[in-house]
């Protein structure tokens, strides 16, 4: 497949690209201006928005991409007022620009990345934060392109993810730190259910979806929304026990010392549809073991 990827430098993007190259696909990524990034030499780069949109449409036509995987996103848990415009620019406007280029250049398919946080309290739509609202807003825009153009679109909504080289300040890195230092970590009661997938599963999900769109497009209805659920869900407390067992360590957590945060997701979205023929390739335990070998 000949694929254009946005957000290639992120945690998911970098793992996905490595795997796509391994499978022999041709990859072009968006190189954001001013970003010093070194990609694998097999990866082609292009900077969107350097000239006018017509020049980018021409580029897409020339390259004749089969599909787009749109991972680029600005993530902010609790936005400040001055960040509203940035969130819309990154999560609505940039993707719309990409969709306009892709549909005008007759790209066949477009995979968008959403979040379980669009489905607070298992609602069809209830955003946990403004970030999630901008993701929903983009899906509304995408539906226009999906209904009025040949391009087939779909969204993969993700929950928590983990794996090697994760630069994001997530729970496992926090626990790794306190396991080493022995310090006590104040946390909430820990009853919230966590739906977390190892990065290998995330990569596998995107590639399974791309494979359908490329080879069996009849399997995917344009505009479809899929959920990447973990095989098993655990409460945060249960997860800490698994962590201790696999990592052979002890965590000093002061459960209940913190309040749950506002709009804490106690039970992640459970009504999402799975990608046809998708199956997880790595369990949480296996993923944690991999992290352990790293140290």
Rule CB under 8 A: say whether 134 interacts with a second copy: yes
Stretch that binds a second copy, among 6-14, 97-105, 188-196, 286-294 (CB under 8 A): 97-105
Rule CB under 8 A: say whether 136 interacts with a second copy: yes
Query: What is the three-class DSSP state of 153?
Result: strand
Paired residues of 93 in beta bridges: none
The two three-digit tokens of residue 130, written as one number: 């403004």
The least distance separating a second copy from the CB of residue 52, rounded to whole angstroms, comes to 6
Q: Please, are residues 101 and 131 in contact by the beta-carbon 8 Å criterion?
A: no
Binding mask 250-289 for a second copy (x = CB under 8 A): ------------xx--------------------------
Q: For residue 234, give Cα distances in angstroms to 99, 121, 122, 191, 242.
A: 37, 17, 17, 9, 9
Binding mask 142-161 for a second copy (x = CB under 8 A): -xx--xx-------------
Looking at residues 51 to 70 of the shown chain, list those that interact with a second copy (rule: CB under 8 A): 52-54, 57
CA end-to-end span of the chain, whole Å? 36
Q: Please, are residues 102 and 66 in contact by the beta-carbon 8 Å criterion?
A: no
Q: Which of residues 38, 81, 165, 215 is near a second copy by CB under 8 A?
A: 81
Q: For residue 204, give Cα distances in angstroms to 53, 211, 234.
A: 32, 10, 22
The two three-digit tokens of residue 258, written as one number: 């913190």
Which spans of this chain sit near a second copy (rule: CB under 8 A)? 52-54, 57, 81-82, 84-85, 88-89, 92-93, 96-97, 100-101, 104, 125-127, 129-130, 132-134, 136-141, 143-144, 147-148, 262-263
């Amino acid at each position: 497949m000949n694929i254009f990827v946005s957000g290639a430098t992120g945690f998911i993007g970098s793992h996905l690209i490595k795997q796509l190259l391994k499978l022999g696909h041709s990859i072009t990524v968006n190189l954001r201006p001013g970003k010093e990034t070194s990609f694998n030499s097999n990866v082609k780069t292009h900077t969107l928005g350097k000239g006018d949109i017509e020049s980018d449409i021409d580029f897409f036509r020339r390259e004749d991409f089969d599909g787009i995987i749109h991972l680029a996103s600005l993530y902010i848990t609790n936005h400040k007022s001055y960040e509203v415009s940035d969130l819309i620019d990154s999560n609505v406007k940039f993707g719309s620009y990409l969709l306009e280029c892709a549909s005008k250049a007759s790209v066949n398919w477009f995979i968008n990345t959403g979040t379980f946080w669009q489905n607070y309290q298992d609602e069809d739509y209830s955003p946990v934060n403004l970030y999630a609202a901008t993701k929903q807003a983009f899906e509304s825009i995408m539906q226009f392109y999906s209904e009025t153009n040949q391009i087939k679109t779909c969204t993969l909504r993700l929950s928590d993810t983990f794996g090697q080289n994760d630069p994001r300040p997530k729970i496992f890195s926090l626990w790794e730190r306190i396991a080493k230092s022995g310090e006590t970590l104040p946390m909430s009661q820990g009853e919230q259910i966590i739906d977390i997938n190892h990065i290998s599963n995330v990569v596998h999900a995107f590639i399974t979806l791309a494979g359908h769109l490329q080879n069996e497009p009849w399997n995917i209805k344009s505009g479809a929304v899929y959920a990447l659920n973990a095989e098993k869900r655990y409460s945060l407390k249960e997860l800490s026990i698994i962590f201790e067992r696999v990592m052979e360590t002890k965590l000093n957590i002061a459960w209940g010392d913190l309040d749950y945060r506002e709009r804490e997701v106690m039970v992640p979205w459970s009504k999402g549809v799975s990608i046809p023929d998708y199956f997880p390739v790595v369990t949480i335990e296996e993923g944690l073991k991999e992290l352990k070998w790293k140290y």
